[in-house]
C-alpha cells in the first residue's frame, strides 16, 4: 500500500531528525512553545512531500522544510520585528575596526562564559539571517554547502553571516562582563 511506503519513508527520513528540527525551530522562533508547533506543522508538510524526497541528504531536506515553516509561521502568528541589517553591520564593522590585539584575548571571553542564560540572550538578539546561520553551523554542525542550500543563499553569504554573527556575539559577551 502506498500509505505504508510513505510511512516507512517518513520514519526513515524525517523522524530521526526531529530533535535537530526542534533545535532549529527553537532558535528561529526564539520560543520553545512556538518551536513545538512549527516542528509539528513542518512534519505534516514533510509527510505530504515525502515522495518528492529523492534520496541524499535527509537532514538538510528536513531542516529546509522546518526553516521555511518557521518563517511562515512567524509571519502568520507574530507581528514583524523590523531588523536593520545595515545598522547591525555598521556596528559590527566599527567594533572590528576598534579592535585592539593587546587587550582582546580569548581569555577575556572565557571569563564570561559561565552564564548560559546570557549566552542564549546574546544569540537571541542576533538578526534572523545571522542567528539561523550560526545555529546551523556552530550548534548543529552543518557544513557551508548544506547551510547555503537550506537558507537559499550563496556560500559566500553563509561565510560572511557566520563571521559577522560570531564577531557580534564575541563583542557582546566580552562587553557585558565589564
Partner 1 sequence: MIPSDTEQSRLLVHAYSDGELDPINALEIERRIAADPRLAVEYRQVETFKQLLRERLPREELPHGLQARIEAAVGMNAPSQPSWRSLAASIAVTAMVASGATWVVRGPEADDAIRDGVVAGHTRSLMASQPVDVISSDQHTVKPWFNGRIPESPRVVDLSKHDFPLVGGRIDVIGRKPVPTLVYRHRSHLISLTAVPTPSPALPSHLADGYNVLRWTDDGVSYWAISDLSLPELTTFEQLFRSNAPDQ
Q: Please identify, among the stretches 66-74, 82-90, 131-139, the one whose residues bind partner 1 according to the rule CB under 8 A.
A: 131-139
Q: What are the distances in angstroms from CA 150 to CA 24, 29, 142, 159?
A: 11, 17, 10, 14
Does 13 bind partner 1 (CB under 8 A)? Our answer is yes
Does 128 bind partner 1 (CB under 8 A)? Our answer is no
* Cell triple for 71: 518563517
* Cell triple for 152: 537559499
| Residue 41 CB, nearest approach to partner 1 (Å) | 9
Q: What are the distances in angstroms from CA 152 to CA 27, 35, 64?
A: 18, 21, 9
Does 139 bind partner 1 (CB under 8 A)? Our answer is yes
* Cell triple for 52: 518528492
Closer by beta carbon to partner 1, 13 or else 74? 13
Q: Where are the beta strands (DSSP E) in 22-135?
A: none
| Residue 82 CB, nearest approach to partner 1 (Å) | 26
| Residue 67 CB, nearest approach to partner 1 (Å) | 15
Does 143 bind partner 1 (CB under 8 A)? Our answer is yes
119: left (phi over 0), alpha (psi -120 to 50) or beta: alpha
Does 95 bind partner 1 (CB under 8 A)? Our answer is no
Does 90 bind partner 1 (CB under 8 A)? Our answer is no
Size of the site for partner 1 (CB under 8 A): 52
Residues 30-59 that bind partner 1 (CB under 8 A): 32, 35-36, 39-40, 43-44, 47, 58
Q: Which of 82, 86, 141, 178 binds partner 1 (CB under 8 A)?
A: 141
Q: What are the distances in angstroms from CA 138 to CA 2, 11, 67, 113?
A: 39, 27, 16, 16
Amino acid at each position: 500500500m502506498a500509505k505504508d511506503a510513505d510511512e516507512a519513508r517518513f520514519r526513515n527520513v524525517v523522524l530521526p531528525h526531529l530533535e535537530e528540527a526542534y533545535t532549529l525551530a527553537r532558535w528561529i522562533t526564539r520560543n520553545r512553545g512556538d518551536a513545538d508547533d512549527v516542528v509539528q506543522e513542518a512534519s505534516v508538510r514533510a509527510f505530504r512531500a515525502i515522495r518528492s524526497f529523492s534520496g541524499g541528504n535527509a537532514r538538510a531536506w528536513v531542516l529546509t522544510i522546518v526553516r521555511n515553516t518557521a518563517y511562515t509561521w512567524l509571519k502568520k502568528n507574530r507581528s514583524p520585528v523590523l531588523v536593520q541589517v545595515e545598522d547591525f553591520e555598521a556596528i559590527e564593522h566599527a567594533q572590528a575596526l576598534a579592535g585592539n590585539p593587546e587587550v582582546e584575548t580569548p581569555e577575556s571571553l572565557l571569563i564570561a562564559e559561565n552564564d548560559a542564560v546570557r549566552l542564549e540572550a546574546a544569540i537571541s538578539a542576533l538578526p534572523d539571517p545571522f542567528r539561523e546561520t550560526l545555529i546551523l553551523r556552530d550548534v548543529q554542525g552543518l557544513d557551508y554547502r548544506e547551510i547555503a542550500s537550506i537558507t537559499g543563499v550563496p556560500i559566500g553569504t553563509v561565510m560572511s553571516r557566520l563571521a559577522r554573527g560570531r564577531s557580534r556575539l564575541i563583542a557582546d559577551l566580552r562587553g557585558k562582563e565589564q
